[in-house]
């Protein structure tokens, strides 16, 4: 890296800048045979977690640091965000979550009541899902050296058949379990001081256990990829998938579910909802043999907006290999790229 290069907010936004810096700082420096354990999945895939094979079972491990501003927002807070994100990352790897650990860093001088509220939220989400809290850490940074609070959370799960996103295949349908962009729109409105004037915005943040575990039980062999589209939204998720397998994904924009309050707010700001974070939905790559049945099953569980929004195809040319294309209203196709950072501290 150049000596005068600086870290920017975009490096942590989950888009192409994030993947570039992770590759430069970490992946390229690790010998290929040490990027995973035998029979497992590791940093070679850059998925939602790592997989360690133990006999005929798989241990799935995920870790992430969570930071959001404001710490409390309509629909949740930092504690709910960290707990839900950890649980969902395990589920997206096809694992049943069994335990978490947390490491909390707080700025000196922060109100103890606020810290207690956020930590209580984290514990409540985890324990309500029947998941054990088996360890953690707590540290304090001097005032001015940290912006309020950060939670790093590790999750441990067990999988019979891990889901690795590079398993996506030509012909697979892209299914979304619910409306997109609710979390990101809510945080943007909060940071702009617009929550009082813009009505109907609330984060969709929640653990997806009650949705994903039944799906894994019934359709495990037919779900080839899964992701909760957080930083960078579904645009980043689909671009990562297309790039990883060297195929093309066609997105049907008119089929992507989005609440009108979210759409109108983002349209007002000129922000594409495809680039905005969701925290309570999953994007799935599904074998077309079971797509209709899977969507009906999701809707029977209350996910009434579950929809098929795209398809994986063989690239018709090298220009679109590893790319995402969206159908326009007049039947044309346009590229859907990953976006640089829109607002800081989304998740």
Q: What is the pLDDT of residue 177?
A: 98
Last residue of some domain: 91, 126, 159?
Answer: 159
The answer to whether residues 175 and 264 belong to one domain is yes
Q: What is the pLDDT of residue 344?
A: 45
Q: How many separate domains does the chain show? A: 2
User: Which of the four pLDDT bands, split at 50, 70 and 90, describes residue 24?
Assistant: confident
Query: Is the residue at 22 inside a domain?
Result: no
Strands (E), 108-186: 132-141, 149-159, 173-176
Mean pLDDT of 5-23: 75
pLDDT in tens, 129-162: 999 999 999 999 999 999 999 999 999 999 999 9
The residue with tokens 């290929």 is 32
pLDDT in tens, 215-271: 999 999 999 999 999 988 999 999 999 999 999 999 999 999 999 999 999 999 999
Query: Is the residue at 155 inside a domain?
Result: yes
The answer to whether residues 96 and 233 belong to one domain is no
Mean pLDDT of 195-206: 93
- The span from the CA of 281 to the CA of 166, in Å, is 20
Q: Are 119 and 51 in contact (CB under 8 A)?
A: no
Query: Is the residue at 257 inside a domain?
Result: yes
CATH code, domain carrying 128: 3.30.1330.10
Q: Which of 212, 167, 175, 179 is nearest to 286 (CA)?
A: 175
Q: What is the pLDDT of residue 15?
A: 65
Query: Is the residue at 124 inside a domain?
Result: yes
The answer to whether residues 146 and 175 belong to one domain is no
Q: Rounded to two decimals, what is the model's pTM?
A: 0.92
Percent of the chain with pLDDT over 90: 79
Last residue of some domain: 129, 159, 189?
Answer: 159
The answer to whether residues 48 and 146 belong to one domain is yes
User: Which of the four pLDDT bands, split at 50, 70 and 90, describes residue 17?
Assistant: confident
The answer to whether residues 176 and 270 belong to one domain is yes
Cis amide leading into 211 (omega within 30): no
Range of the domain at 108: 36-159
β-strand 248-252 against 324-327: which pairing, if any? Answer: parallel
Query: Is the residue at 30 inside a domain?
Result: no
Query: Is the residue at 213 inside a domain?
Result: yes
The answer to whether residues 124 and 184 belong to one domain is no
Query: Is the residue at 11 inside a domain?
Result: no
In three-state secondary structure terms, 192 is coil
Last residue of some domain: 139, 159, 179?
Answer: 159
- The span from the CA of 17 to the CA of 236, in Å, is 11
Strands (E), 207-339: 223-227, 248-252, 283-286, 307-313, 324-327, 333-335
The answer to whether residues 321 and 174 belong to one domain is yes
Structure tokens at 128: 């309500």
The answer to whether residues 55 and 195 belong to one domain is no
- C-alpha distances in Å from residue 54, one per residue of 38, 60, 229: 10, 11, 29
Mean pLDDT of 298-325: 97
- The span from the CA of 93 to the CA of 73, in Å, is 28
Q: What is the pLDDT of residue 112?
A: 97
Confidence check: pLDDT of 44 > 90: no
The answer to whether residues 144 and 184 belong to one domain is no
pLDDT in tens, 48-65: 789 999 988 999 999 999
Query: Is the residue at 9 inside a domain?
Result: no
The answer to whether residues 149 and 169 belong to one domain is no
CA distance from start to end of the chain: 26
Q: Are 148 and 140 in contact (CB under 8 A)?
A: no
CATH code, domain carrying 322: 3.90.650.10
- Any idea what DSSP says for residue 266? H
The answer to whether residues 54 and 200 belong to one domain is no
The answer to whether residues 118 and 182 belong to one domain is no
């Amino acid at each position: 890296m150049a000596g005068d290069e600086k870290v920017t907010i975009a490096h942590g936004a989950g888009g192409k800048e994030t993947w570039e810096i992770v590759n430069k700082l970490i992946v390229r420096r690790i010998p290929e045979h040490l990027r995973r354990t035998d029979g497992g999945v590791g940093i070679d895939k850059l998925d939602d977690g790592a997989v360690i094979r133990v006999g005929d079972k798989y241990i799935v491990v995920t870790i992430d640091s969570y930071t959001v501003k404001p710490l409390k927002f309509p629909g949740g807070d930092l504690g709910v965000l960290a707990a839900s994100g950890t649980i969902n990352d395990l589920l997206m790897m096809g694992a049943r979550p069994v335990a978490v650990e947390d490491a909390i860093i707080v700025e000196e001088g922060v109100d103890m009541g606020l810290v207690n509220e956020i930590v209580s939220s984290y514990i409540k989400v985890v324990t309500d899902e029947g998941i054990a809290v088996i360890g953690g850490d707590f540290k304090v940074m001097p005032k001015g050296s940290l912006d309020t609070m950060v939670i790093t959370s590790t999750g441990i799960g067990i999988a019979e058949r891990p889901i690795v996103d590079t398993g996506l295949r030509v012909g697979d349908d892209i299914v979304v379990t619910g409306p997109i962009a609710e979390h990101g729109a809510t945080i943007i409105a909060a940071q702009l001081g617009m929550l009082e004037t813009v009505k109907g915005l609330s984060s969709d943040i929640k653990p997806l256990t009650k949705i994903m575990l039944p799906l894994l039980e019934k359709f495990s062999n037919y779900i080839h990829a899964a992701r909760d589209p957080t930083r960078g939204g579904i645009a980043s998720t689909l671009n990562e998938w297309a790039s990883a397998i060297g195929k093309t994904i066609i997105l049907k924009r008119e089929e992507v579910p989005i609440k009108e309050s979210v759409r109108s707010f983002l349209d007002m700001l000129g922000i594409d909802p495809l680039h905005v974070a969701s925290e309570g939905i999953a994007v799935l790559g599904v074998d077309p043999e079971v797509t209709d049945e899977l969507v009906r099953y999701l809707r029977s569980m209350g996910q009434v907006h579950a929809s098929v929004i795209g398809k994986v195809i063989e690239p018709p040319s090298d220009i679109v290999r590893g790319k995402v294309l969206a159908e326009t209203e007049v039947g044309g196709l346009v590229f859907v790229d990953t976006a640089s950072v829109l607002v800081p501290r989304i998740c």
